[in-house]
């Protein structure tokens, strides 16, 4: 990996030597990533050592936002468990305001709030990483994913949802940026109680006022005295069976339908957002035949579901590196989806599929949440550019990212978000000669998985075309038919996410990524075919279908091989702008 090679280089040893010497650091005027507000210019020190100390100083990030610091904001913390009405209270304040913005962790949530406000007669702009929709005549309200929030425009009310994501190891910087920099007279943050100690520290640093609103569940959540004893025939309408691998989800769907006679919907993370929303709508509709949901922890956020009972098929998950027990926060977030207040189902119930998991579930649900103590930060492009100059332009971009992560200067209430995912993408595009540091910085933020072979190959091609000033080609058109196997479904899901990545880049490099109309058309076709395939797939084969027991790299190779096979057999076709050229 880049970090191991970096530590052996002379430039790294030189930087580490300079970083180890105590230096008189200037007060930190260091912005958070992707900022859009006018900031005070970073000092331009002449000595290499001063340049390094300035670039790496993340100790007082709140000072980077003079517009927000010039306001005496009131921060309203709406804290409580799932199904307590905390977000509803904040959205009502947003709806009644003359201007405002909602910031959520998922496109599904941004869509939902956009639709709610629009239906209530409040014109609302939608901004996600892949799309911007502005109503005719403009609007004073915006619903967006948290990374997309603009800090240029002052608003009366801001809402930041799932505030406990401040401590997310990779995305926490976006919540920190919103809390520090959103110029809202009243900023409403919603989340779990464990975020309060951290919020208090951040609000104090900003010299704002904090008002805490506490909430309790609107309907009881009851732990069943018994599990299902492994008997899936006991599944009943309104149940949601939760599993943590794609293979297990489809296996459970197959067995529940065979043993209970009940049709099932499925929801998991790699499904297109549109498909997840459609599956949720079918499950919620009493007139539809599918009355059982088989899902991953993707149900924890972003979907309103009429779930009566949550059944954990397992209390451990593969997190990309190892199989680990679910954290109390994860268990409570998922279990809290049962008995939603708006569903009129009354008390929610939670249990396990197997007897052996019930004692652990009982202990986990009763365990107190550990208070959050640190929020995530990440470098801006300006910092990385200064860091690159200070290092004498001697490192690749991947090495630069990993060096910054290890050497950043932080206070005790902050940490540097993991930059390794960006560094992995940086290694993939290292061969694209002619790309500037800015282009590499943007490309490495694209929502593409460096462990997915298809994504890696496409990103490498797009980077080379961008460097040469050529249009970035889509390369593949969708297949002519829905998937007929789990491997084909997986390859189509991978292709769908690649199209998402293209559209994300098109919002940043519009001239190069110009085939947006075609990309949207292909994306819609993929989503429709994935939706159609969910009910018609054959039983799982004995071999690998990309389930949770296999690495993401292997799943990416499976998808890339399947994509090539389907192209040869008439499934995926060459795009007229792509492989035929």
Q: Does the structural domain 221-366 have CATH classification 3.40.50.150?
A: no
pLDDT at 447 over 70: yes
CB atoms within 10 A of CB 255: 17
Look at residue 107 in the predicted model and tell me its pLDDT.
95
Give yes or no for a contact between 365 and 223, defined as CB atoms under 8 angstroms apart.
yes
Look at residue 46 in the predicted model and tell me its pLDDT.
60
24 vs 390, which has greater pLDDT?
390
Which band of pLDDT confidence, cut at 50, 70 and 90, is reported for residue 572? low
User: What share of the chain in percent tops pLDDT 90?
Assistant: 77
304 vs 75, which has greater pLDDT?
75
Same fold, 63-214 and 221-366: yes
| Tokens coding 366 | 């009763």
Distance of alpha carbon 391 from alpha carbon 408, whole angstroms: 14
Which band of pLDDT confidence, cut at 50, 70 and 90, is reported for residue 301? confident
pLDDT at 563 over 70: no
Look at residue 343 in the predicted model and tell me its pLDDT.
54
232 vs 579, which has greater pLDDT?
232
Give yes or no for a contact between 330 and 242, defined as CB atoms under 8 angstroms apart.
no
CB atoms within 10 A of CB 50: 18
Distance of alpha carbon 37 from alpha carbon 68, whole angstroms: 10
Domain formed by 63-214, architecture:
3-Layer(aba) Sandwich (3.40)
CB atoms within 10 A of CB 142: 26
78 has which bridge partners? 190, 213
pLDDT at 18 over 90: no
245 vs 29, which has greater pLDDT?
245
341 vs 463, which has greater pLDDT?
463
Which band of pLDDT confidence, cut at 50, 70 and 90, is reported for residue 345? low
44 vs 202, which has greater pLDDT?
202
pLDDT at 481 over 80: yes
Q: In this predicted model, what pLDDT tens digit does every residue of 122-132 receive, in sequence order?
A: 999 999 999 99
CB atoms within 10 A of CB 171: 18
- The domain ranges of the chain are 2-58+379-416, 63-214, 221-366, 429-574
Look at residue 61 in the predicted model and tell me its pLDDT.
96
Select the highest-mean-pLDDT range: 8-22, 301-315, 506-520. Answer: 506-520
Which pTM was predicted?
Answer: 0.86
The rounded mean pLDDT for the chain is 87
pLDDT at 576 over 70: no
pLDDT at 77 over 50: yes
pLDDT at 344 over 70: no
């Amino acid at each position: 990996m880049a970090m191991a090679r970096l530590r052996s280089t002379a430039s790294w040893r030189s930087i580490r030597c300079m970083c180890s010497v105590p230096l008189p650091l200037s007060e930190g005027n260091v912005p958070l990533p992707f900022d859009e507000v006018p900031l005070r210019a970073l000092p331009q020190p002449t000595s290499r050592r001063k340049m390094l100390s300035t670039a790496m100083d993340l100790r007082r990030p709140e000072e980077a936002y003079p517009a927000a610091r010039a306001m005496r904001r009131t921060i309203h913390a709406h804290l409580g468990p799932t199904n307590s009405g905390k977000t509803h209270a904040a959205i009502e304040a947003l709806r009644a305001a003359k201007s405002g913005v909602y910031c959520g962790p998922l496109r599904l949530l941004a869509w939902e709030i956009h639709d709610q406000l629009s239906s209530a007669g409040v014109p609302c702009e939608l901004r996600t990483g892949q799309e911007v929709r502005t109503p005719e005549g403009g609007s004073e309200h915006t619903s967006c994913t948290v990374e997309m929030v603009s800090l240029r425009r002052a608003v009366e009310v801001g809402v930041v949802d799932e505030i406990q994501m401040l401590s997310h190891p990779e995305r926490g910087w976006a919540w920190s940026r919103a809390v520090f920099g959103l110029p809202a007279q009243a900023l409403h943050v919603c989340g779990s109680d464990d975020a309060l100690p951290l919020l208090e520290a951040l609000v104090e640093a900003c010299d704002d006022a904090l008002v805490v609103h506490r909430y309790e569940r609107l309907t009881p959540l009851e732990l069943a005295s018994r599990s299902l004893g492994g008997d899936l025939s006991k599944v009943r309408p309104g149940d949601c069976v939760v599993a943590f691998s794609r293979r297990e989800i489809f296996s459970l769907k197959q067995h529940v339908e065979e043993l209970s006679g009940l049709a099932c919907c499925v929801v998991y993370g790699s499904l297109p957002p549109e498909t997840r929303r459609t599956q949720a709508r079918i499950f919620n509709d009493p007139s539809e035949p599918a009355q059982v949901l088989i899902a991953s922890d993707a149900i924890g956020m972003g979907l309103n579901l009429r779930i009566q009972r949550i059944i954990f098929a397992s209390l451990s998950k593969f997190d990309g590196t190892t199989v680990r027990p679910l954290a109390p926060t994860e268990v409570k977030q998922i279990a809290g989806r049962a008995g939603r207040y708006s569903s009129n189902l009354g008390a929610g119930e939670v249990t396990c599929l197997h007897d052996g998991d019930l004692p652990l579930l009982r202990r986990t649900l009763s365990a107190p949440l550990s208070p959050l103590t640190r929020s995530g930060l990440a470098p801006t492009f300006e910092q990385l550019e200064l860091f690159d100059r200070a290092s004498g332009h001697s490192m690749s971009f991947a090495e630069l990212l990993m060096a910054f992560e290890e050497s950043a200067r932080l206070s005790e209430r902050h940490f540097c978000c993991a930059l390794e995912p960006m560094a992995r993408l940086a290694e993939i595009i290292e061969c694209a000669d002619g790309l500037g540091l800015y282009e590499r910085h943007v490309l490495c933020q694209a929502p593409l998985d460096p462990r997915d072979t298809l994504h890696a190959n496409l990103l490498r091609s797009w980077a080379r075309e961008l460097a040469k000033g050529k249009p970035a080609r889509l390369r593949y058109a969708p297949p002519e038919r829905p998937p007929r196997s789990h491997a084909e479904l997986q390859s189509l899901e991978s292709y769908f996410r690649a199209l998402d990545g293209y559209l994300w880049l098109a919002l940043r490099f519009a001239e190069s990524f110009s085939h947006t109309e075609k990309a949207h058309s292909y994306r819609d076709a993929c989503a429709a075919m994935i939706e159609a395939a969910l009910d018609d797939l054959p039983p799982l084969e004995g071999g690998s279908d990309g389930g949770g027991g296999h690495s993401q790299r292997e799943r990416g190779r499976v998808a890339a091989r399947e994509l090539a096979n389907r192209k040869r057999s008439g499934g995926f076709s060459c795009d007229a702008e792509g492989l035929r050229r």
